Structure 1
Amino acid sequence: MSDKYQETSQNHEDILRKFDKESDYRVLSGFSAKIVAAIAIAFSVFHLYTAVCGVLDAMIQRSIHLSFGLCLIFLLYPARKEWPRNKVHPVDVVFAILGAAVPMYIIIFYQDLVLRAGTVTTMDYVVGLIAILLVLEAARRVVGWPIVTIASLFILYALFGRQIPGQLAHRGIALPSLVGHLFYTTEGIFGIPIGVSSTFIFLFILFGAFLEKTGMGEFFIDLANAVAGWASGGPAKVAVLSSGLMGTVSGSSVANVVGTGSFTIPMMKRLGYKPEFAGAVEATASTGGQLMPPIMGAAAFLMSEFTQISYVKIIGAAVIPALLYYFGVWTGVHLEAKRLGLKGLNKDELPKIKTILLERGHLLLPLVAIIYLLVKGFSPMKAALFAIISSIVASLLRKNTRISLADIINGLEQGARSALGVIAATACAGIIIGVVTQTGLGLKMGSTLVGLAKGNLLLTLFFTMLTSIILGMGVPTTANYVITSTIAAPALLMMNVPVLAAHMFVFYFGIIADITPPVALAAFAGAGIAKANPLKTGLEASKLAIAAFLVPYIFVYNPSMLLIDVTAWGIIQIIITSIIGIIGVGSAVAGYLITDESFIERIIFFIGGILLVTPGLKTDLAGLVLLILGYIMQQRKISKHVVNDSEN
């Protein structure tokens, strides 16, 4: 990786620390650093071993996973911000020992726990209570207060359900019973979220760590520059492309913003984009990476487990909406560049596609391999394992990308470190799921939303959208999906919305919370790099992401967009009409198509675009007529200006 890339990334480390709790870690040296490295490497080796030899019993696999995770979290993330970052505080050493020991209690007394079949002894109760508190503390340190606050409120709801008025009331759960459910069953902390984390997600994160070692990040940026850097508003289009590519392997919107935004945002500002728009472009493009198959911020694996729909169908269904999202962002960038008269970069300043592909094109082989293996029916865990091996092998094909044994060992360590945020988030999300399964809160919330909407599907969708955005604020992708699918999705299922469409709907709006004010962390990170107003940046990002606010409504009303019961011709028709429709909506939002638009023209383009995005022959024809009408009005305006200019 070039010195320039490393230096620029380092310059924005403070921005990542400000907006992403996962970067707020210790930088150790000496003996303590070696201890942490040894634990992290052992953690990665354990997962590689189970990927090769087979996963252990669910509770044992997940307990070991959580034991490693909690130990590393307490060693790497200080309890207090003012504590030194170059050494481990004694208090955190105690926390680390407890974090490692408490999950091991399940392994040591596994047979006894099975034979007791749910009966919780005093010792079980004490250990389980400590474990719950440790999980909450670990989540606070790595992920931040939002998810801890939500989980704590759920625990209070479980304990004091009798005192809650109205439809959400329940009989209440005694603390020992709640602790037993949350820690000694596979419906709480050791539920599906951490189960997926302990199998698929960890290996994909490890895969991403090895790709980073090969210089994949710099390769994506150079490739995007070569493809789009010369076009109108080139740097902004580079941001869209590079962030979309990085999103295929990245699990964090904020980290993606800082990783690619370090280069693209300054380039956009130099070209002439306003700081708020530059930050918004990067934030919107980076957030879209969580919606982009094949990984979707690791939520695709969780969605497959929750819905019992095959992983291949999940990523297949996500393709068209994700492409429409990025096409919408691209359209907004292009129209803004045309409106401002911004040109691209000089081709002499840009890398050549042929040179990039010849020198580093082999780095794409692991991505091709993982997609091929998944489509061929390999389990995500096996696909990730082979992808890790192929990333190492591919790097050896060229001297400039070759990674050494030291790089491989460092990749094992970095992969384990990168997984800590997901571990803390999924364990904490398990607390939420455990409360929901014991109290039936999901169905209660669903009934409440449907009742509030008086059975109207559109209103139910609107209220579910607001709920998902609120629940998704400041929460990482995996936990975000767990929370929204547990709390908000039941309302849509009660309205007979297809399972996949319901889960995709809440997933989309949970992710869009990253760029939706008032808590738009990705937009705020972009604003930090651009030195822009955070709120204005968030508003600009929301405008650019207009497709993400529209498409979920469309695929609920017509699931054919998710490839549900659709023909090949139907897919082609949906893609063509949706692309034209997104151009119409994008021009309405930008206020420009081939010239500045009047208020009436913007209304015409917006309605026409919406009708075209909505699948159906009648809506397509009506939308096309409106867009043609709007285009004619634009052309007449230009002709009138030409005539006036010639007369003057």
Structure 2
Amino acid sequence: MNTSTNMCKLITDKVLLIAAIAAILLSVFQIWQGITADLSAPVFRPIHLSWVLILAYLTLPLIKSEQSALLYLCGRFVDLLCIAAIAWASYHIVSFDYDDISFLLDGLTTLDQLSGLIIVVLLLEATRRTVGFVMVGIAMLFLAYAIFGDVLPSSVASKGFSIEEIIRFHIYSTNGIYGAPLAIAAGVVFIFVLFGAFLQVSGAGKFFIDASFSIAGKYRGGPAKASVLASAALGSISGSAIANTVTTGSLTIPMMKKLGYKPEQAAGIEAAASTGGQIMPPVMGAGAFVMAQFTGIPYSEILLVSIAPAILYFGCTLLYVHLMACKLGLKGMEITEKISVVLKNGWHFLVPLLLITSLLLMSYSPILVGIAGCVAILVAAMCRKHSRISFALVFEGMKEGALLALPISIACGTAGIVVGVVGQTGIGLQFTQFLMALSGGYLWSVLGLIAIAAVILGMGLPVTAAYIVLSIMAVPSLTELGVGLLAAHMIVFWLSQTSNVTPPIALAAFAAAGIANTSPMKAAVQAFKLAQGFFIIPIMMAFSGLIWVEGNSADFAISIVLTIGLIVAFAGCIEGRLVTSLSSLSRLLLLVSGFTMLLPYYWLNMAGLIVIVMIVLFNLKLSSKNKPLSVSPG
């Protein structure tokens, strides 16, 4: 028994060492390709995906060693066979002669089909290991539709494609697995995930957390507000709400609990703030780069129009956090580091962020901007003695960056199957017609259906994959109802984030609940309440000019004011207080006035806004009257 256990441990250690080397080499390869762009898409994308798949099979065994030593060894042998099959199939695909168009006329050879089939099957298995069964189920459902679409009712029927036609479309073209989602994951997203890994190993992540505590820690509910600020700073770079929750939450959640927040409140605050990081410029996770690819709109423009909505979201979250602290009677931290001291020790870590923001706004290639950011963070760390890092930590950052990118690349590869089937069968148009019929052609109904679909999809899909699937199917419905293309994609992008904080399966809230040692469902309820901005702001994007475009500056300014009014109204109504406690009548008036912000009548908007302002002023006056008079000593 001991011999078997020792053998399992020895094999595990060797495999992890091989995986670490392979991950570092993948990062080197990605940087080289980003700088030189020597490899064409039909060569680079299969190499990237095969590398990622091999890493997944190395790091995520079929059978865990805890179950049985013998089963573990058998599972490892199966993994080895899968790795060999991936290597062989990918080599065959990379060396495929695309100049010889006979395959379009005569079809693929048996070996070509076998290679493609191996990649499809082993990609789905890797997806199961990294993302879960739901994504696999969705991909298989779409593949089944492509194959058996001709036997379905005429309202949803398609041609019905052979296995050879599906393999040819999804493997031997840039429309399916090797299509746009994987192209973005293999290019821009990987580099920025690597940038985020370098931020962590260099100590820059700690600097942003320390700076957040210095700025907000002394105020009422300080650690919670610091959590919101830190998550805003780090969330867009990490590319994952869950990773952001675990990273910042391990520090902020215990401090919030110590200050007096209930465990579920601390978990909910961290989950809502970390999820918001995905919509915060300059990086905005992976989805914004997908949006740039899908819409053809420069990333710099997407970045600019995202600033105001992101600030509004975090303003909304901070308001809820403040009201929660007031209700609990909490104070700020007694001792906080001065911001001047924190900046003195870590100001150099701001340079890489300023650099990538400036370069993105100047419309430089996002891949080259990400590489410049990676170099800048390492140079910045090396420039000062107290922040210098060893080569071992540089290699650790390269390894972590590659491993963090695994689920993103694999999910995007599988999402490519969905995108490919939609393009091959034309089901997207049928879905749009179905959605329009179900909603009665009303924008309100379409938004509600998209929000429900986003939550359901997000229960089993990563945010980026959920956005890809939902945008392909739902954006045409929004544009058909008069919503602009960028606004429609932004609405879907924002709603795709909601699954992280919406019960019954709120992944970021569940991760935070583990740190806070509380009920996942209670944490999810708190997170949902705190993240109301994810629902309020997309509605304002649809019904007002919250997405800035040239020529609508006045509408944009009015929309911001109305959104602030809506946020304040809903927060006061839900929490039952603003500056001090609110009466039932005031809460009802706030609720009614909040809904007037959504109506397309200017006079109603203004009337509702006036009511909200009057309630705030009256509440402020009432609060000042209730303050106890100060008594001089003696």
- How high is the TM-score relative to the length of structure 2? 0.92
223-232 vs 177-186, which deviates more?
177-186
1:585 aligns with 2:570: yes
Question: Given the alignment, which residue of 95, 100, 119 partners 1:108?
Answer: 95
Q: Which residue of 1 is the match for residue 37 of structure 2?
A: 54
Question: Given the alignment, which residue of 233, 248, 259 partners 2:247?
Answer: 259
Q: Alpha-carbon deviation of 1:537?
A: 1.8
Counterpart residue type for residue 79 of structure 1: L
The CA deviation string for residues 509-539 of structure 1, in whole angstroms up to 9 with x for no partner, is 1111111111111111112222222222212
1:160 aligns with 2:158: no
> What is the DSSP-based 3-state SS (H/G/I as helix, E as strand, rest coil) of the residue aligned with 2:297?
coil
Counterpart residue type for residue 187 of structure 1: N
Q: Which residue of 1 is the match for residue 220 of structure 2?
A: 232
Provide the alpha-carbon RMSD of the alignment.
Answer: 2.4
Distance, in Å, in 1 between the alignment partners of 2:119 and 2:626 is: 72
316-325 vs 597-606, which deviates more?
597-606
Counterpart residue type for residue 309 of structure 1: I
Compared CA separation, residues 614 and 220, structure 1 to 2 (3 A)? farther
Distance, in Å, in 2 between the alignment partners of 1:162 and 1:418 is: 40
560-569 vs 78-87, which deviates more?
78-87
The CA deviation string for residues 526-564 of structure 1, in whole angstroms up to 9 with x for no partner, is 122222222222122111111211111111122x31112
The CA deviation string for residues 588-644 of structure 1, in whole angstroms up to 9 with x for no partner, is 22111122223332222233345457798535422222113423654686689789x
Distance, in Å, in 2 between the alignment partners of 1:573 and 1:215 is: 41
Please, which runs of 5 or more residues in structure 2 have no aligned partner? 1-8, 629-634
8 Å Cα contact 2:16/2:58 also seen in 1: no
8 Å Cα contact 1:316/1:562 also seen in 2: no
Q: Which residue of 1 is the match for residue 590 of structure 2?
A: 605
Q: Which residue of 2 is the match for residue 99 of structure 1?
A: 86
Question: Given the alignment, which residue of 414, 424, 429 partners 2:410?
Answer: 424
8 Å Cα contact 1:279/1:530 also seen in 2: yes
Compared CA separation, residues 619 and 551, structure 1 to 2 (3 A)? farther
Distance, in Å, in 1 between the alignment partners of 2:314 and 2:595 is: 17
Counterpart residue type for residue 445 of structure 1: F
Distance, in Å, in 2 between the alignment partners of 1:381 and 1:115 is: 35
Aligned residues: 615
The CA deviation string for residues 89-117 of structure 1, in whole angstroms up to 9 with x for no partner, is 22212222222332221112234765523
The CA deviation string for residues 49-74 of structure 1, in whole angstroms up to 9 with x for no partner, is 11221252111110111111111111
Q: Which residue of 2 is the match for residue 32 of structure 1?
A: 15
Distance, in Å, in 1 between the alignment partners of 2:443 and 2:598 is: 19
Q: Which residue of 2 is the match for residue 300 of structure 1?
A: 288
Distance, in Å, in 1 between the alignment partners of 2:482 and 2:158 is: 26
Q: Which residue of 1 is the match for residue 166 of structure 2?
A: 178
The CA deviation string for residues 94-148 of structure 1, in whole angstroms up to 9 with x for no partner, is 2222223322211122347655237222221111111100110111111112211
The CA deviation string for residues 187-211 of structure 1, in whole angstroms up to 9 with x for no partner, is 1000000011121111111111111
> What is the DSSP-based 3-state SS (H/G/I as helix, E as strand, rest coil) of the residue aligned with 1:110?
coil
Compared CA separation, residues 56 and 114, structure 1 to 2 (3 A)? farther
Q: Which residue of 2 is the match for residue 216 of structure 1?
A: 204
Distance, in Å, in 2 between the alignment partners of 1:614 and 1:48 is: 50
Question: Given the alignment, which residue of 514, 520, 525 partners 2:511?
Answer: 525
Counterpart residue type for residue 511 of structure 1: Q
> What is the DSSP-based 3-state SS (H/G/I as helix, E as strand, rest coil) of the residue aligned with 1:168?
coil
Question: Given the alignment, which residue of 460, 463, 479 partners 2:449?
Answer: 463
> What is the DSSP-based 3-state SS (H/G/I as helix, E as strand, rest coil) of the residue aligned with 2:482?
coil
> What is the DSSP-based 3-state SS (H/G/I as helix, E as strand, rest coil) of the residue aligned with 1:396?
helix
Compared CA separation, residues 113 and 266, structure 1 to 2 (3 A)? farther
Distance, in Å, in 2 between the alignment partners of 1:28 and 1:222 is: 41
279-288 vs 88-97, which deviates more?
88-97
8 Å Cα contact 1:67/1:104 also seen in 2: no
Q: Which residue of 2 is the match for residue 374 of structure 1?
A: 360
8 Å Cα contact 1:474/1:514 also seen in 2: no
Compared CA separation, residues 210 and 279, structure 1 to 2 (3 A)? same
The CA deviation string for residues 377-431 of structure 1, in whole angstroms up to 9 with x for no partner, is 2110111111111111111121121122222222222221111111110111011
Q: Alpha-carbon deviation of 1:223?
A: 0.8
278-287 vs 624-633, which deviates more?
624-633
Counterpart residue type for residue 361 of structure 1: W
> What is the DSSP-based 3-state SS (H/G/I as helix, E as strand, rest coil) of the residue aligned with 2:155?
helix
Distance, in Å, in 1 between the alignment partners of 2:11 and 2:240 is: 24
Question: Given the alignment, which residue of 236, 239, 259 partners 1:271?
Answer: 259
Distance, in Å, in 1 between the alignment partners of 2:457 and 2:243 is: 20
The CA deviation string for residues 224-256 of structure 1, in whole angstroms up to 9 with x for no partner, is 110101111111101111111111211111111
The CA deviation string for residues 283-313 of structure 1, in whole angstroms up to 9 with x for no partner, is 1001111111222211111100101111111
> What is the DSSP-based 3-state SS (H/G/I as helix, E as strand, rest coil) of the residue aligned with 1:562?
coil
Q: Which residue of 2 is the match for residue 443 of structure 1?
A: 429
8 Å Cα contact 2:93/2:112 also seen in 1: no
Distance, in Å, in 2 between the alignment partners of 1:228 and 1:27 is: 48
> What is the DSSP-based 3-state SS (H/G/I as helix, E as strand, rest coil) of the residue aligned with 1:297?
coil
Distance, in Å, in 1 between the alignment partners of 2:190 and 2:451 is: 30
Question: Given the alignment, which residue of 328, 345, 349 partners 2:316?
Answer: 328
Q: Which residue of 1 is the match for residue 546 of structure 2?
A: 561
Q: Alpha-carbon deviation of 1:494?
A: 2.5
Compared CA separation, residues 391 and 230, structure 1 to 2 (3 A)? same
Distance, in Å, in 2 between the alignment partners of 1:614 and 1:233 is: 35
Counterpart residue type for residue 561 of structure 1: L
Q: Alpha-carbon deviation of 1:83?
A: 5.8
Alignment of 1:391-406 (within 5 A): 391-406=377-392
Q: Which residue of 1 is the match for residue 471 of structure 2?
A: 485
Q: Which residue of 2 is the match for residue 386 of structure 1?
A: 372
Compared CA separation, residues 453 and 576, structure 1 to 2 (3 A)? closer
8 Å Cα contact 1:449/1:460 also seen in 2: yes
Distance, in Å, in 2 between the alignment partners of 1:522 and 1:452 is: 31
Distance, in Å, in 2 between the alignment partners of 1:529 and 1:455 is: 44
Q: Which residue of 2 is the match for residue 317 of structure 1?
A: 305
Counterpart residue type for residue 328 of structure 1: C
Compared CA separation, residues 613 and 449, structure 1 to 2 (3 A)? closer
8 Å Cα contact 1:237/1:333 also seen in 2: yes
1:626 aligns with 2:611: yes
Q: Which residue of 2 is the match for residue 19 of structure 1?
A: none
Question: Given the alignment, which residue of 335, 356, 363 partners 2:342?
Answer: 356
Counterpart residue type for residue 317 of structure 2: V
Counterpart residue type for residue 326 of structure 1: F
Compared CA separation, residues 165 and 640, structure 1 to 2 (3 A)? farther
Counterpart residue type for residue 37 of structure 1: A
Counterpart residue type for residue 173 of structure 2: T
Q: Which residue of 2 is the match for residue 22 of structure 1?
A: none
Distance, in Å, in 2 between the alignment partners of 1:197 and 1:27 is: 33
Q: Which residue of 1 is the match for residue 533 of structure 2?
A: 547
8 Å Cα contact 2:268/2:524 also seen in 1: yes
- How high is the TM-score relative to the length of structure 1? 0.90
8 Å Cα contact 1:106/1:113 also seen in 2: no
The CA deviation string for residues 467-521 of structure 1, in whole angstroms up to 9 with x for no partner, is 2221222321221211111122222122232111111111111111111111111
Q: Which residue of 2 is the match for residue 45 of structure 1?
A: 28
1:285 aligns with 2:270: no
The CA deviation string for residues 31-56 of structure 1, in whole angstroms up to 9 with x for no partner, is 43442233222211111111221252
Compared CA separation, residues 429 and 339, structure 1 to 2 (3 A)? same
8 Å Cα contact 1:585/1:610 also seen in 2: no
